[in-house]
Chain A
Amino acid sequence: MRKTWRTGGIVEVGLPSWIYVPALAGALFILAPLLAILLKIDWAQFISLITSESSLAAMALSLKTATASTVVCVLVGAPMALVLARGNFPGLRALRALVLLPLVLPPVVGGIALLYTFGRQGLLGHQLDVLGIQIAFSTTAVVLAQSFVSLPFLVISLEGALRSAGSGYDHIAATLGARPTTVLRTVTLPLVLPGLISGAVLAFARSLGEFGATLTFAGSLQGVTRTLPLEIYLQRETDADAAVALSLLLIVVAALIVIASASRRLTGPL
């Protein structure tokens, strides 16, 4: 690393020029497949392919379930992040590692785990059955699968924001007589709002792309459980053009989300 001198202004620490070669190769590795999909699109048919009845049903279901999953993630993920960042009890580190497990778990494993929890013959299946709740093959099952894989994204994102914001302002508010709920509502949450939003955006994006856990746990039926990724996988069997067109649609949505969260990052602490 080059030394920066205080005298006469700040000297820019430049990157070694060779670093651009592997960086460019990496960028091409990501961009080339995206370009390949663009080149494969049958533009004359594009609109009719993405507006077919099954495509529209899958798209509507995907938006609906991903929104519901994001709400679930915020409602339970924000308290989880607060406990992990501010809590102080034995076993916290182990708990943190465990709840972030779905981040590294293959989604299909998550689907199998959910099956043995909420499935008809699962851990809670009988109790749910007694209560008259049928989760198998329902849209609820899709939301559960998406929430399971997306939750750690929100938790890790918000927890990082909480840690970098620190608890200084919370302490000041408390010494001025504010009760814990008031501190949380008026000081802590407004401070980490950008982190919460980018976490929610990440969770939404992850939910939108969920495939493995949904296929394993929820099944696949048009308008009920067949989300966009499942529709793409099925279309691929017979109509490659439709699969490619729908893939582009998902890529565009994902790109918009990444751009939205990137601009958020410029203004927020995360």
Chain B
Amino acid sequence: MKPIVGVIAVTCVAAVAAGCSSSPQDTDGEVLVFAAASLKSTFTELGSQFERDHPGSKVSFNFAGSSALVAQLQQGAPADVFASADNTNMAKAVNAGLVAGDPIDFAKNTLVIVTPPVTSWRIDSFADLIQPGIQIVVCAPPVPCGSATEEVEKATGVTLTPVSEESAVTDVLGKITTGQADAGLVYTTDAAAAGDTVTSIPFPESSGVVNTYPIAVLDDSTNRAAAQDFVDLVSGPQGQKVLAAAGFAAP
């Protein structure tokens, strides 16, 4: 009878406005996860694991910037789980009454310096980013990676003069992998995902500025049991293993 339950769950997602609630809280059916863009590779892998462990289930994702996801949820987008790249955006979701229960932190991310693999600049520390003529690219202050960059600047007393402030961390990474800029600040996980197209240079001051990733089941979820199971998978040992492999630190 599992395919039928699946059909009912899908129908429920479609008919969320009609107030449909599936009574048998089985851990199958569809789970729609809204997750921060930086979680794309890890969550895709965990989604496949979840589908293997729960036959008859289907995990779908909507990956975007955390603030864009909160905006979509506020406009009534139907979803079961929300995973944010920072506490600010999760707090927005909580304050809007979108979250069921309390969010839990499942991962941490820190900033790292990245340079093209071949570079004539010698960079060993954060202070080396202010050499004359060096072209630095960072995230703009309104986005999470940009506010983290600002905090590192405050902590180190080093004020960067970037040639570009990008709207997304992936745009910073792009400017480095194409060799347009000499150095950039991205998350450790982005640097890890870029592999040997960039050189990562960790710096001690980054540990003082940590981005925490919270996850929560949503109040509008039509499949809460399965949603909770997915949250448990992410925060449990299996999820932590996948996240650690991608460069995330434990919460």
Binding site for B on A (CB under 8 A): 115-116, 119-121, 136-137, 215-216, 218-222, 225-226, 230, 233-240
Q: In the docked arrangement, what's the CA distance between A115 and B180, Å?
A: 8
Residues of chain B contacted by A220 (CB below 8 angstroms): 140, 164-167, 171
Residues B181 and A136 in contact, CB atoms below 8 Å apart? yes
Tell me, in angstroms, the Cα distance from A238 to B147 when the chains sit together. Answer: 12
Interface residues of B in 164-210 (CB under 8 A from A): 164-167, 171, 174-175, 178-181
Q: What would 13 more interface pairs be, CB under 8 Å, given A120-B180, A121-B178, A220-B166?
A: A136-B135, A137-B163, A215-B166, A215-B167, A219-B137, A220-B165, A221-B165, A226-B165, A236-B67, A237-B142, A237-B143, A237-B167, A240-B71
- Closest Cβ of chain B: how far from A261's Cβ, in Å? 31
Which residues of B are in contact with A by a Cβ distance under 8 Å? 65, 67-68, 71, 135, 137, 140, 142-143, 162-167, 171, 174-175, 178-181
Asked if residues B181 and A137 are in contact (CB atoms below 8 Å), the reply is yes
- Which residues of the partner chain B approach A226 to less than 8 Å between Cβ atoms? 165
The interface centre, meaning the residue of B67, B166, B178, B181 with most chain A CB atoms within 10 A of its CB, is B178
A120 — which chain B residues lie within 8 A by C-beta? 179-180
Are the CB atoms of B179 and A119 closer together than 8 Å? yes
| Residue in B closest to A222 when the chains form the complex, CB atoms | B165
Complex partner residue of B167 from A115, A136, A225, A234, CB under 8 angstroms: A234
CB neighbours (8 Å) of A136 from chain B are 135, 163, 180-181
Top 4 A-B residue pairs of the complex, sorted by shortest distance between their CB atoms: A219-B164, A137-B163, A121-B179, A238-B142
**In chain B, what residue has the closest Cβ to A134?**
B135
Expressed in whole angstroms, the Cα–Cα distance for A146 and B167 within the complex equals 19
Q: Which residues of B contact A233 (CB under 8 A)?
A: 167
Shortest distance between the CB of A194 and any CB in chain B (Å): 39
Closest residue of chain A to B175, judged by CB?
A219
Q: A115-B178, A119-B180, A136-B180 are in contact. Are A237 and B162 (CB under 8 A)?
A: no
Report the minimal beta-carbon distance from A213 to chain B, rounded to whole angstroms: 13
Would you give 8 A-B contacts (Cβ < 8 Å), ordered by A? A115-B178, A137-B163, A137-B181, A219-B163, A219-B166, A234-B143, A234-B167, A237-B142
- Once the chains are docked, how many angstroms separate the CA of A136 from the CA of B180? 7
Which residues on A sit within 8 Å (CB–CB) of B71?
240
Nearest B residue to A215 via CB reads B171
Please, how many angstroms separate the alpha-carbon atoms of A216 and B71 in the complex? 25
Complex alpha-carbon distance, A240 and B68, angstroms: 11
Q: In the complex, what residues of B have CB within 8 A of residue A216's CB?
A: 171, 174
Cα distance A191–B180 when bound, in Å?
45
A249 and B137 alpha carbons, distance in the complex (Å): 29
Cα separation A115 to B171 with both chains bound (whole Å): 13
Contact across chains for A221 and B162 when beta carbons are under 8 A apart = yes
Bound Cα distance from A239 to B142, whole angstroms:
9
Residues of B within 8 A of A230 (CB): 167
CB of A118 to closest CB in B, whole Å: 10
Q: B142, A234: Cβ atoms under 8 Å?
A: yes
B200 → A minimal CB distance (Å): 20
Instruction: Report the minimum CB–CB distance from A107 to chain B (whole Å).
Output: 14
Residue ID in chain B nearest A217 by CB atoms: B180
Known: A215-B171, A216-B174, A238-B142. A137 touches B180 (CB 8 A): yes
Chain B residue with the shortest CB-CB distance to A137:
B163
Question: A180 → chain B, closest Cβ, in Å?
Answer: 44
**A225→B140 contact, CB < 8 A:** no
A136 to B176, CA, bound (A): 12
Contact, CB under 8 Å: A137 / B135: yes
Q: How far is the CB of B5 from chain A (nearest CB, A)?
A: 38
Complex: how many Å from CA A238 to CA B89?
10
Q: Which residues of B contact A238 (CB under 8 A)?
A: 67, 142
Question: Nearest-CB distance from A95 to chain B (Å)?
Answer: 29
Compute how far the CA of A136 lies from the CA of B164 in the bound complex, rounded to whole angstroms.
10
CB atoms of B67 and A237 under 8 A apart: yes
For A138, give the chain B residue with the smallest CB separation: B163
Among A119, A215, A221, point to the contact of B163 (Cβ < 8 A). A221
CA–CA, A80 and B246, complex, Å = 51
A236 to B178, CA, bound (A): 27
Which residues from B are CB-within-8-Å of A239? 142
Closest to A115 in B: B178
Q: Which residues of A contact B68 (CB under 8 A)?
A: 236
Chain B residue contacts of A219, Cβ below 8 A: 137, 163-164, 166, 175, 180
Q: Which residue of the partner chain A has the closest CB to B116? A: A121
B151 CB to closest chain A CB, in angstroms?
A: 16
Which chain A residues lie closer than 8 Å to B175 at the CB level?
Answer: 219
CB of A129 to closest CB in B, whole Å: 12
Taking A137-B163, A221-B163 as contacts, is the C-beta distance between A237 and B65 under 8 angstroms?
A: yes
In the assembled complex, which residues on chain B have CB atoms less than 8 Å from the CB atom of A234?
140, 142-143, 167
